[in-house]
Copies of this chain bind each other. A is one copy, B any other.
Amino acid sequence: MEDIDAPEFSAPFRDDFETLLRWRRDVRRFRADPLPNGTIGRLLELADLAPSVGNSQPWRIVLVESAEARARVTACFEEENAAAAREYDDETAQHYRALKLAGLREAPVHLAVFCDEDPEQGHGLGRSTMPETLSYSTVSMIHTFWLAARTEGIGVGWVSILDPATVGEILDVDASWRLVAYLCVGYPEEEHIDPELERLRWQSRSPLKSRLFRR
Number of interface residues of A (CB under 8 A): 109
A201 to B84, CA, bound (A): 48
Give, as a whole number of angstroms, the nearest-CB distance from A61 to chain B.
5
CA of A140 to CA of B57 in the docked complex: distance in angstroms?
17
A:1-23 near B, CB below 8 Å: 1, 3-10, 13-14, 16-23
Is A31 among interface residues, defined by CB-CB distance under 8 A?
Answer: no
State how many angstroms separate the Cβ of A20 from the closest Cβ of chain B.
7
Contacts of A124 in B (CB 8 A): 84, 87
CB neighbours of A126 from chain B (8 A): 101, 160-161
A204 on interface, CB distance cutoff 8 Å: yes
A162 CB within 8 Å of chain B: yes
Most buried by B among A8, A50, A158, A160: A160
Answer whether residue A212 sits at the interface, using C-beta atoms and an 8 A cutoff.
Answer: yes
Tell me how many chains of this kind the complex includes: 2
Q: Which of B5, B9, B180, B192 contacts A136 (CB 8 A)?
A: B180
- Asked if residues B123 and A190 are in contact (CB atoms below 8 Å), the reply is no
Contact of A202 among B7, B123, B179, B213 (CB under 8 A): B123
List of B residues within 8 angstroms of A64 by Cβ: 215
* Contact (Cβ within 8 A) A215 B21: no
Give Cα distance in the complex from A50 to B143, angstroms: 9
**Cα of A208 to Cα of B50 in the assembled complex, Å:** 12
Given A23-B7, A48-B208, A213-B61, verify A96-B80 contact (CB < 8 Å): no
14 A-B pairs, CB-CB below 8 angstroms?
A: A7-B20, A8-B153, A14-B151, A17-B17, A44-B212, A51-B143, A51-B146, A60-B213, A62-B214, A83-B128, A96-B125, A129-B162, A130-B160, A139-B139
Beyond contacts A61-B211, A143-B143: 4 other A-B pairs, Cβ-Cβ < 8 A, are A54-B202, A80-B129, A122-B203, A132-B135
Which 8 residue pairs across A and B have the least CB separation, nearest first?
A6-B191, A139-B139, A55-B203, A21-B49, A9-B151, A55-B197, A48-B208, A62-B213
